[in-house]
Structure 1
Amino acid sequence: MLCLPGLLAAGVAGATNYSLWVNGRTGGGAIGNYNDFRYFGPNDTPAGVNKKSVNWDGRSEVGSQSGIIRNALDCFCTGQNWCYVAVHSAGELLVGYTLANYSVTPRPVTNAQPNAAGACTAGSGATQTGWNIRWVRTAAGSSGGSELADIGAWTTSEPLANQQRVSTSRALYNHNETGNVWFYRYAGAAGTLYSWALPGQDDEVVAYHSSGGASGSGGTTLCNPGDWFCNDLTYGSGPNQGGRAKWNFHSVVFRDDGEDYGHYTRGNWGGITSLVRRDMEMLAR
């Protein structure tokens, strides 16, 4: 987390904390409308202090959508203001790409008052390096790709689907470079429909190697404890059973040992996102 020397962090007079929510594939909410949570669920559901929905189209290449994320981070996470960030599925690929490529760039300190396009006006002309981000919590993160993209389960004319191929996602940016922001990961395991295509435990869309932040250029088979034929996805930031490391600044805080949580929000803050919402409400203050 980086901020302009001399600027104060949240907790002092004039400082405001925000909770940013970033959707995954298919999109949903209106781009630029930070109050439109239709992708996740009802707008009035508690989901962290001063919650904002950072909507992107969920279909285009992440490089073309990164400006939307940068607008939101410039708006709410500069100057004296700090952010907590929550992402779902491919939203992690977009946020990870943005932090890896822009967290060391000069950012304008803005007035936190977005226009209709979701951009905020720079105030005094001050800048800072990167953004003030406490942490990122990721539900069903797909920054490691999905084998569903590899087998063509999604339309291949969709640019994002092509980027979600396992080897492509993993090569898209340096996943170890997060601007020193921690990604806290929630991995679901209630998948059944595509289990034949997804190695190890999965939530029906992404396998544990992706939702658990396993590093490397390709996927691997990771499971819950008790599976004799599969290495365990481990809690924390250390290596998984069998030695596969996690990306730097990535830590597993929930592993679905009961196989209770699926991938989809169902338009009601459902699935594995329900646990991230619970923790955002409790911790993002």
Structure 2
Amino acid sequence: MKNLVCTALVAATALVGAEASATNYSLWIHGRNGNSTQAGNYNDFSYWGSSSTAAGVNKKAVNWNGTQRISVENYRVRDALDCYCTGANWCYVAVHSAGNLQIGYALSLYGSSARTKKNAVPNASGVCGNLDGTTQTGWNIKWVDVASGAGGGSELANLGDWATSEPLTSDLVTSTARGMYNHNVTTSKWFYMFAGAKGTVYAGALPGQDDEAVAYHSTGGVSVTGGFCNPGDLFCDGTLNTGTTATSNGKAKWSFHTVSLRDDGEAYNHYANGAWAGIVGPVRSDMVTYAQ
């Protein structure tokens, strides 16, 4: 599917002479991070790993205070989308963990709003200047790659296993995350889900397969919570199927959500570790291949 999307977009751009100067960008939106990155600095990749590592065309780090509520910090994501994904420019988006909530929130609540076209030249706060004073509806986004997405929340937040002093923890409670916005509304942008399954000793707190922090019901984009697993695993509610197919017990995925990677080998945990590690690794590889 992704090959077809890219081919169609390239062909469409080639047919429009006025779009010849268009620039593509790869935006990386991090998750919970203890506010360790510099908000507004699109070159600070410290959450992910070395900034010299290939991670898609014209990569930009979308940094926000990863301890605060999604609604409070979402303006920084919208600033980045306005900067790089309006006018003649297009974006590929990669997100990790709570970054899934950030892009989902932006698209669902603001993706059909009027956006002033920007010039892709940010100031120190990460805000770009106006291009020509005109507006457009929503953003030019080709698709979204999701590494261990927390769009469905985590039972670790339900149980208070994360620092309760962080406002973001409240947003990661499964009922809160799922009720924050309509996850089926993505303005027709596809979310490619990469679900890790290298759990650990406390995985019992998470239902079904997990990556130490988030369970398959969330990382697989399933529309309800539950214990979903790899094929052949016992004591699960059902198998998380790849693609857009519902789980084996009939639980549907959100609209425009498809599972690109189900971690059958249980090889990928949740954490980037500042080294493009864990489930972020295969997402980075996918961006290198397709975000061009």
CA contact (8 A) 1:10 1:80 kept: no
- State the partner residue of 2:116: 108
Does structure 1 residue 156 correspond to structure 2 residue 164?
yes
Does structure 1 residue 281 correspond to structure 2 residue 285?
no
Pick the aligned partner of 2:102 from 90, 94, 111: 94
Name the aligned partner's letter for residue 31 of structure 2. Answer: G
Distance 1:278 1:168 in 2: 32
CA contact (8 A) 1:9 1:15 kept: no
- State the partner residue of 1:23: 30
1:258, distance to aligned residue in structure 2 (A): 0.3
Distance 1:124 1:273 in 2: 37
Deviates more, 1:154-163 or 1:180-189: 154-163
Distance 1:92 1:19 in 2: 15
- State the partner residue of 1:4: none
1:228, distance to aligned residue in structure 2 (A): 3.4
CA contact (8 A) 1:86 1:137 kept: yes
Distance 2:284 2:13 in 1: 21
Distance 2:202 2:175 in 1: 19
- State the partner residue of 2:232: 226
Distance 2:157 2:56 in 1: 32
Query: What count of residue pairs does the alignment treat as equivalent?
Result: 276
Residues 57-108 of structure 1: per-residue CA shift (max 9 Å, x gap): 1111111111100100000000110000000000101110111000010001
1:194, distance to aligned residue in structure 2 (A): 2.1
Distance 2:84 2:140 in 1: 9
Distance 1:70 1:138 in 2: 18
- State the partner residue of 2:147: 139
Higher helix proportion (structure 1 or 2): 2
Distance 1:228 1:161 in 2: 30
Name the aligned partner's letter for residue 275 of structure 1. Answer: P
Mapping for residues 170-249 of structure 1, pairs under 5 Å: 170-216=178-224, 219-230=225-236, 231-249=238-256
CA contact (8 A) 1:189 1:201 kept: yes
CA contact (8 A) 1:9 1:82 kept: no
Aligned structure 1 segments of 4 or more residues deviating by more than 2 angstroms? 8-12
Distance 1:151 1:127 in 2: 44
1:9, distance to aligned residue in structure 2 (A): 6.7
Name the aligned partner's letter for residue 35 of structure 1. Answer: N
1:238, distance to aligned residue in structure 2 (A): 1.9
Name the aligned partner's letter for residue 227 of structure 2. Answer: T
1:127, distance to aligned residue in structure 2 (A): 0.4
- State the partner residue of 1:44: 52
Distance 1:56 1:167 in 2: 23
Distance 1:194 1:144 in 2: 19
Distance 1:175 1:238 in 2: 17
- State the partner residue of 1:72: 80
Normalised by the size of structure 1, how large is the TM-score? 0.95
CA contact (8 A) 1:28 1:55 kept: no
SS of match in other structure, 1:260: coil
1:29, distance to aligned residue in structure 2 (A): 2.1
Name the aligned partner's letter for residue 84 of structure 1. Answer: Y
CA contact (8 A) 1:236 1:252 kept: yes
**Structure 1 unaligned runs (5+)?**
1-7
Identical aligned residues as a percent = 55
- State the partner residue of 1:3: none
- State the partner residue of 1:55: 63
- State the partner residue of 1:265: 272
1:158, distance to aligned residue in structure 2 (A): 1.1
SS of match in other structure, 1:246: coil
Q: Supply the RMSD in Å over aligned alpha carbons.
A: 1.2
Normalised by the size of structure 2, how large is the TM-score? 0.92
Distance 1:140 1:64 in 2: 22
**Structure 2 unaligned runs (5+)?**
1-10
1:124, distance to aligned residue in structure 2 (A): 1.2
Distance 1:137 1:192 in 2: 25
